[in-house]
Amino acid sequence: MRPGHTVAVYGAYGHTGRFVVAELLARGAVPVLCGRDEGRLRGLAAARPGLDVRPASVDDPAALDRALAGAAAVVNCAGPFATTAAPVIEAALRAGIPYVDVAAEIEANADTLAHFADRARAAGTVVVPAMAFYGGLGDLLVTAAMGDRTAADEAHIAYGLSSWHPTAGTRTAGSVSHARRDGRRVRLRNGRLEYHRDELPTLTWHFPDPLGTRAVIGEFTMADVVTVPSHLSIPEVRTYMDAGAASDLATADTPAPTAVDERGRSAQTFLVDVVVRSGAVERRATARGQDIYAVTAPLVVEAVDRILDGRASGVGVLFAGAAFDAPDFLDALAPHITYSTAG
């Protein structure tokens, strides 16, 4: 990223937003602190002297326009994205700048693709939703495992988490999605999202060492069911969650993440294991790292960097695997994740 690039961060004071602000500063960019709560923005600015504070509510287009004025791009870290994505994308389109978000909400990502693909393409700008641990990383891994192919029979994405201490934002977004689905669950079958009330099965997944064989919740559906099929012909995309992590998420009194190092990361570790199958041929891609929220920051900032220097593949609404050279992108994350492919 060119030193001095100004990047608006909407929801800058949130848990993930703070990691994004720190990553932008580490790369020489100038974050603009934006969001709904002026008090929390000014509290963050007190710890980051010299940064501009621009409060804006999503229901105030003029304030959003002021917040994005002069920015080269905007990163939306403020969930629930069912509420924030469309207004901030609208503001980005008015400003003529790229938009990137960290939405893990399945329906919010589907809405962005449905409602803004044509408009972003006509405007000649780039909109990259779900550029986060959930959505972006899985999409990059599936795309890397595919190699030169654009079609496969099925893709399986297993999330091995040592624990999952959800943020307040994660819980709020989950509540919004639950209400929107009327309590139903969602899965991808034959290339279509399907809502159901079936119980989710407990299965086993053979993760690479050191995790090994672990119990996982099958059809624990994540944003990958929107991101991957948007650009790859894979009719069956299934996601699995470590059973212990799923239990953490489901428990109301599981605490929020606690920092254990100077970068503010929690002790949580992750292993994302992807298997893509075409007939009898199987390919695998794996990524390991620490703290699913912290690792979102290098993912989203690397995306902004590549968009601003012309390394995004086209315009319109593009998810990670379509927007970027997946193996090269994953290699660039080497300080933050360990990545490998096989098969």
pLDDT in tens, 175-211: 999 999 999 999 999 899 999 999 999 999 999 988 9
Rounded to an integer, what distance in angstroms lies between the CA atom of residue 157 and that of residue 238?
Answer: 6
The two structure tokens encoding residue 96 = 């003529």
DSSP code of residue 151: B
The two structure tokens encoding residue 22 = 């720190």
Strands 73-76 and 99-101: what pairing?
Answer: parallel
What one-character-per-residue DSSP string does 61-130 give? HHHHHHHHTT-SEEEE--S-HHHHHHHHHHHHHHHT--EEE----HHHHHHHHHHHHHHHHHHT-EEE--
Residue 2 has pLDDT above 80, yes or no: no
Q: Is residue 3 very low, low, confident or very high in pLDDT (cuts 50, 70, 90)?
A: confident
CA distances from 23 to 98, 156, 249 (A): 18, 30, 27
Nearest residue to 201 (alpha-carbon basis) of 166, 172, 161, 241: 241
What one-character-per-residue DSSP string does 227-278 give? HGGGTSB-SEEEEEEEHHHHHHHH-TTPPPP---STT---S-EEEEEEEEEE
Contact 104, 167 (CB under 8 A): no
pLDDT at 343 (0 to 100):
80
Tell me what the mean pLDDT of segment 318-324 comes to.
98
Q: Is residue 1 very low, low, confident or very high in pLDDT (cuts 50, 70, 90)?
A: low
Rounded to an integer, what distance in angstroms lies between the CA atom of residue 217 and that of residue 124?
Answer: 41
The 10s digit of each residue's pLDDT in 116-152 is 999 999 999 999 999 999 999 999 999 999 999 999 9
Rounded to an integer, what distance in angstroms lies between the CA atom of residue 122 and that of residue 315?
Answer: 9
The 10s digit of each residue's pLDDT in 254-289 is 999 999 999 999 999 999 999 999 999 999 999 999
pLDDT at 199 (0 to 100):
96
The two structure tokens encoding residue 111 = 């809405």
pLDDT at 232 (0 to 100):
97
Mean of the per-residue pLDDT values of the chain: 96
101 or 1, higher pLDDT: 101
CB-neighbour burial class of residue 157 (10 A; exposed 0-12, middle 13-18, buried 19+):
buried
Name the strand (E) or helix (H) holding 55.
strand 53-55
Beta bridge partners of 60: none
158: three-class secondary structure by DSSP: strand
Set out the domains of the chain in order of their start, with CATH numbers: 6-132+296-326 (3.40.50.720), 135-292+336-342 (3.30.360)
The two structure tokens encoding residue 89 = 């994308």
Could you identify the residue written with the tokens 């105030």? 60
Strands 316-317 and 202-206: what pairing?
Answer: unpaired
Residue type, 178: H
Rounded to an integer, what distance in angstroms lies between the CA atom of residue 79 and that of residue 8?
Answer: 16
Rounded to an integer, what distance in angstroms lies between the CA atom of residue 120 and that of residue 218?
Answer: 35
The 10s digit of each residue's pLDDT in 222-254 is 999 999 999 999 999 999 999 999 999 999 999
Please give the angle made by the CA atoms of 325, 136 and 143, to the nearest 5 degrees.
Answer: 45
213: three-class secondary structure by DSSP: strand
pLDDT at 4 (0 to 100):
78
Residue type, 10: Y
Share of the chain above pLDDT 90, in %: 97
The 10s digit of each residue's pLDDT in 19-59 is 999 999 999 999 999 999 999 999 999 999 999 999 999 99
Report pTM. Answer: 0.97
Tell me what the mean pLDDT of segment 203-222 comes to.
96
81: three-class secondary structure by DSSP: helix
